[in-house]
Structure 1
């Protein structure tokens, strides 16, 4: 939408309806890079849920979903600078539970959204963490939201992340500051802090750190999904045996492409179309 919202009257806007959700964005973006991907989640037992699963499947994602209740929706307001404000109604997405171990087991990497730390889906994250550690799998977590950290409480949020022992933790600068997340870097966990167009920080064990320059973007149309694209690019690179700094650069490259398009979208080039790796 253009300008400052005016209460009590019309606010002209261009409205787009697209598939979304942080974890499904990561899955679709990673699949677009040729990475085999399995998505685990819950949608409503309704036509919207069916459409979301169909879109993920068409994107080359192995969608393992529960269907019950109504499908969640997020309303995003995007201002002239491309920054977005979100109004989530998670509905069925917040009620993921009783996931079969077989849905999680056998993955080369497991990526978790911290949104599920707040609500009945928390045990699923602990289940996924336990399976990942038992199988020697890469485990990543996205801190997801400053509002989430505030709702849980910064100290409690950090304790929950610490208990899951991710291999990599992704956060933006505000999230990292609010939850003291840089301090979680240690022998088990590398913390990656994104700072918009400023250099990305990488914090390793032993107080070691590095910074990675972010390539310039000519025009930022919409920041929606950029963090999810970063996670997908990073993970796909790590699974191709890239070092951490190279993986950050791969995350930057994919996020940069998403920033120039409306919504959490990624236009495929002719060479990329259908390039899903076996």
Structure 2
């Protein structure tokens, strides 16, 4: 599997397409009555977001997913294609396009209420076999593995990519569904992947370590991330832990450990930060650049997302 600059490399991002209904709240949600908010309807879905940022940065990218036969699905396809993404989208005649309500608090932290819709019906037959070819890179959203009905599609994508000589990455995507799924099961599905991307809560859960404390020192946070990454090296060649305002840390078999600080920015909305990080990190990793440089590119990509509302370019 080649890791060197390649002008014709294609990134294949497999996972969810969602329509995000983003409500930016001025304060705490007032239950049982009205809470005025700035509400916007935007494209979302972890794998679709990563594909959109990859294409925005000039990388040849295909997004593979499933949408409903409805207005939201057609609008979503159009938005991605206008942004330069090649779309391989199965259309579900029975299920609606996935939708997620995103509540954004004043500090930028978000709470999501998703309805996966057509995403949960993605099957191996929906994956165009011609997309899997040597020299390309597969990026898989962990959501696909944590939903029973779409798991076989995710596993099939990983199997085909390995057989065809592609490099592979998996982004865990969300700590809640991971806790419901169980760390051991998830690790058994992604074992042997080239790059595993996780935030600090996801990494700790996967590694069987205590959950990180938000008020701990930077040194303690980095030490916890390091322990988690080292523990997870048995599942992935390169383990990346995203640490928000503390940057990101990675451990791999070739370069050892690297850390890159975050880019200072006023946080408006953290939705899609990890998806954009992947779009910044993966091309650098695929080109074989220094691990610290690759992390820095991921951090810069995430910073441009959190400074504004929404997960897309």
TM over 0.5: yes
Aligned to 2:270, the other structure's residue is in SS state coil
Which of 121, 125, 129 pairs up with 1:95?
A: 121
- Relative distance call for 1:106 and 1:67 in structure 2 (3 A) is farther
Match of 1:276 in 2: none
Match of 1:256 in 2: 303
| C-alpha distance in 2 between matches for 1:131 and 1:78 | 38
- Deviation, 1:186, is 4.1
Aligned residues: 263
- Deviation, 1:106, is 5.3
- Deviation, 1:187, is 8.5
- Deviation, 1:254, is 1.1
Match of 2:284 in 1: 237
Which of 60, 64, 75 pairs up with 2:88?
A: 64
- Deviation, 1:3, is 1.3
Residues 40 and 103 in structure 1, CA contact (< 8 A), matched pair in contact too: no
Residues 52 and 85 in structure 2, CA contact (< 8 A), matched pair in contact too: yes
- Relative distance call for 1:135 and 1:196 in structure 2 (3 A) is same
Aligned to 2:149, the other structure's residue is in SS state coil
* Deviations, residues 81-129 of structure 1 (Å, cap 9, x unaligned): 0011000100101111122322434561100000011222111222211
Residues 52 and 312 in structure 2, CA contact (< 8 A), matched pair in contact too: no
Residues 187 and 205 in structure 1, CA contact (< 8 A), matched pair in contact too: no
Instruction: Tell me the TM-score normalised to structure 2 length.
Output: 0.80
1:106-121 matched pairs, under 5 angstroms: 108-117=136-145, 118-121=147-150
Residues 186 and 206 in structure 1, CA contact (< 8 A), matched pair in contact too: no
Match of 2:28 in 1: 4
| Aligned-CA RMSD value | 1.8
- Relative distance call for 1:106 and 1:228 in structure 2 (3 A) is same
Unaligned runs of 5+ in 1: 267-278
Instruction: Tell me the TM-score normalised to structure 1 length.
Output: 0.89
